[in-house]
Chains A and B, each alone.
Chain A
Amino acid sequence: MLAKIVLAILYIGLLLWLGYKGWREDRQAGDYLLAGRQASPFLLALSYGASFISTAAIIGFGGAAGAYGFSLLWLTFLNVFVGIFIAFTVFGKRTRRMGVALDAHTFPELLGRRYQSRFVQGFAGLLIFLFLPIYSSAVLIGVARFLEVNLGLNYTWALFFFIALMAVYVLAGGLKSTLYTDAFQGALVFLMMAGLLIFTYAKLGGVGAAHQALGDLAPQVPAALKSQGMLGWTQGLETGSPLWLMVYTTLVYAVGIGVLAQPQLVVRHMSAGSDRELNRSVLWGGIFTLGITGVAFVVGALSNVLFFQQTGQVAYNVAEGNIDRIIPLFVSNLLPGWYGVLFLLAMLAAAVSTLGSHFHVGGASLGRDFYERGLGSAGQGEVTITRLGVAVTILVTLIWGLVLPPSIIARATAFFFGLCAAVFLPVYFLGLYWKGMTKAGAVVSMLGGAGASFFLTAFVHVKESAALGLCRSVFGVDSLVAGAVPGSLGAILQYTDPNLIAMPLALILALVVSLTTPRPEADHIELCWRHL
């Protein structure tokens, strides 16, 4: 225990030093927001990976794999193919060039300048500021759960301790400091995950034998999961069942596709000094993402075999139904003690890198995008306002961390990713590729995507609508389609992620409105496209 605490303190000291190094180099707003557009390829790739794949992926989604099995591997495929390959090759290069052409420093600013709309920038900034903390809290909960299980800390105190550390770290430096620490932390997390995979497969007699043993556990599927459509950890889920809809539409689709319109990741594209950084990021990012999510999901599922051998119970039951505790319990109870120490540092590392970029983006969204541009207010200076926004984002994240229920990490992450897909993805993609995309099309698409997403969340998707209580207070039922005949559209809708419907709707709105409204001025389009 003492060794763990000493190592954690040393590690925190190193982070603060890196934050200070970044603070000294952030001389102006451009540095603070975009690291001066001079990030190195390796730094950029590790930073992108570390801020995309984090504690939420390892603890939250790894835990989900522990409960739902290898179905989560489809998310690994999308993480690598869409989150890295498509993100960098289809979106990244054009984003960098258009970002430079429009001198954009944030994702909402890129959209706002592309569409010559303060509303677009302000609305995007407000939405990110309001909802990014839900995702951030998922990361925070992940690391707090780990500290709770691994160090025996009280969960609430762990939340407070870690958020205080993050506040000092992020408020001290800008993106450059997070780029430095991300690279270091990304490398540490990657090595730990590689060790985890080797240990698990070796312990279970190799790849084929381990998978076979996991498949043989199918009769042990907990009744709570079986009744929702779970067949087995390598047998998959019953097509169309509530669990199948939740895993594939919420966890796999929302995160797998929503990654393309993540504001904290789009900023990474704009940080690149040339296409070379982006090309090399594809190389490093592909390996990194497979190494983190692939390993987390495979090991998360295989933890069932090791738990069963030791305790006679599968992971879901060992964690008492709180899937956020599966990976921390696995590391603490089934791995050597020294490995647990290193893994703890890796989880702190992953959480710091992701939360650092989140708070940075949240602050910029409130300060620069919503307050300065959206409201048209003259502030005290960009860096000051942005840092104020960072402080508010940190506070809101802590509040969410305190109020969200157990087993929430993966769902909270998926919520933000899905919302970004519904609201931003159509206008972002069309803005990069279609000169005919208009300001009116962008505004209607964003409002339509957000409106549909919120309506379906509050009144149809039963998991959230029941928790929010708005539908019950207005209509007296938990969902407008509650009680629908099994197999009917209504029954499917109540378990289908709202953003799977909202995103195509936003895309249609963008296309229809843009085709029926006057095209943007030729001069402006020429300006946007001048480097493409």
Chain B
Amino acid sequence: MLGIAAAELGWAYLLSILAALLCVVYGLIKFNDSGPLSEELRDFSRWAPPGD
């Protein structure tokens, strides 16, 4: 595969590219999906220092 002697390593080559494509597709689909802003979520009124 692609001139690579071991099929297993050919798959590693191809899967690396496919994984990057997956990242691109996911990033494009969710490009503007912001969820709540961290600034809006900040509310420390209920926070108490951790005990031990």
Contact = CB atoms under 8 A, between A and B. Distances in A.
Interface string A268-311: 00001111100111111111011000100010000000000000
Interface string B1-43: 0111110110011011101111110111011111111110110
B16 to A, nearest CB: 4
Interface in A103-156: 103, 112-113, 115-119, 121
A117 B50 contact: yes
Interface string A198-230: 000000000111111001001000000000000
Interface stretch (A2-10, A232-240, A344-352, A360-368): A232-240
A243 B16 CA distance: 22
Contacts of B51: 116-118
Contacts of B6: 70, 231, 234-236
Contacts of B50: 112-113, 115-118, 121
B47 A232 contact: no
Contact of A284 (B5, B27, B47): B27
A404 interface: no
B3 A234 contact: yes
A74 B12 contact: yes
Contacts of A85: 19, 22-23, 26
Given A273-B37, A283-B31, A73 B23 contact: no
Given A276-B35, A290-B17, A527-B46, A211 B3 contact: yes
Contacts of B15: 77, 81
A49 to B, nearest CB: 11
A279 B31 contact: yes
B12 A96 contact: no
A274 B26 contact: no
B5 A274 contact: no
A76 interface: yes
Contact of A283 (B13, B28, B35, B38): B28
Contact of B47 (A84, A215, A527): A527
A279 B21 CA distance: 14
B9 A70 contact: yes
Contacts of B46: 527, 530
Contacts of B47: 102-103, 527
Contacts of B36: 97, 274, 531
B23 A287 contact: yes
Contacts of A118: 50-52
A77 B16 contact: yes
Contact of A73 (B9, B20, B34): B9
Contacts of A232: 5
A255 interface: no
A176 interface: no
A118 B50 CA distance: 7
Nearest to A281: B27
Contacts of B24: 283, 286-287
A32 B2 CA distance: 48
A524 to B, nearest CB: 8
B36 to A, nearest CB: 7
Nearest to A82: B19
Contact of B3 (A212, A274, A276, A285): A212
Contacts of A96: 38
Interface in A398-451: none
With most chain B CB atoms within 10 A of its CB, the pick from A77, A212, A236 is A77
Given A73-B13, A96-B38, A282 B26 contact: yes
Contacts of A264: none
A81 B17 CA distance: 10
A89 B16 CA distance: 18
A275 B42 CA distance: 15
Contacts of B44: 103
A95 to B, nearest CB: 11
Contacts of B21: 286
Interface of A: 37, 69-71, 73-74, 76-77, 80-81, 84-85, 89, 93, 96-97, 100-103, 112-113, 115-119, 121, 207-212, 215, 218, 231-232, 234-236, 272-276, 279-287, 289-290, 294, 298, 527, 530-531
6 A-B pairs with least C-beta separation: A283-B27, A286-B23, A211-B3, A275-B35, A279-B30, A276-B34
Given A70-B12, A298-B13, 6 more contacts: A37-B39, A73-B16, A81-B15, A273-B37, A282-B23, A282-B30
Interface of B: 2-6, 8-9, 12-13, 15-17, 19-24, 26-28, 30-39, 41-42, 44, 46-47, 50-52
12 contacts: A37-B38, A100-B42, A207-B2, A208-B3, A272-B38, A274-B36, A274-B38, A275-B33, A276-B35, A279-B30, A290-B16, A530-B46
